[in-house]
Structure 1
C-alpha cells in the first residue's frame, strides 16, 4: 500500500472513531432544560474523553452530568457519515495497488481515461486527499493534484 493510501486510511479511520464519540437521536422535544427548566427544542452533545458536554437550545445552558445526560441521549453515530467513510475506504482499497485509472490535469481540466498506475498514487487518491491538505502528514510535493 502506498504512503498516500495509508495516509487516507488513517484519516478515514480517525473520522470513524470520532463518529463513535457522537451522541444523538434520543432527545425528546420540549424536554425541560435541567438548569433553567424552560422547554427546549434541541440539544447538542459531544462525547469525548474524559466527559460528555450537552448544550440545550434555545437557552444555551451546558451540562456534563452523566446521569442527566443519559436521560436525554443514547450513542448513535450518523449513518450517512458512516456510509460515506466506508465508501471512501473501499475506494482507497480499490486504488491502493497497481490498477487502471483515469488521470486529471487540473490546469487543462483534461481527463485521460484508463492509464496504468503501477504504484497507487493515482489521481483518484490525490483528489480524496485534497481536503487533508493542511494535515501535518500531507506531502504537498507528492500528492497535490
Structure 2
C-alpha cells in the first residue's frame, strides 16, 4: 500500500519486531549505545521522514521529553504525545501545584520554551475533573 502525505504511523508489527528481535541484535543497531529502547525505536522508524517537517504523534508508551528532543535534533521532526508516567524533564511539580488550586473542569494552562534549534515546545495541562 503506498504511503500518502499524511501517513506517518509506525505499524504495530514493526514495533513488535523491534522488541522480539533480541537484546544482542538490538544493541548492534544505530542509536542503541546512546538511548533506551523507546527512543531507539522511534528514531530508527522515523529516520526516513527526517527533515520532512512532519509530526510524530505518540501514545503514552513513547511520550517522553527525551524522545521529543532527539526527534527534533536528529531528524528535524515535530513530536506530540500525552505524558502520564515518563516525567523526566517534564514540569510535573508546576502542574501538580496548578491542580491543587482546583481549577474548574476544562481549565488549562500552557508552558512553553524555545529549543536550541529555535522551535517552540509547549506543555499543556488540562483539568478534566471527570470524577466530580
Shorter-normalised TM range: under 0.3
Greater Rg over alpha carbons, structure: 1
Which structure is richer in relative contact order (CA contacts within 8 A, separation 6 or more)? 1
The normalised TM-score by structure 2 is: 0.24
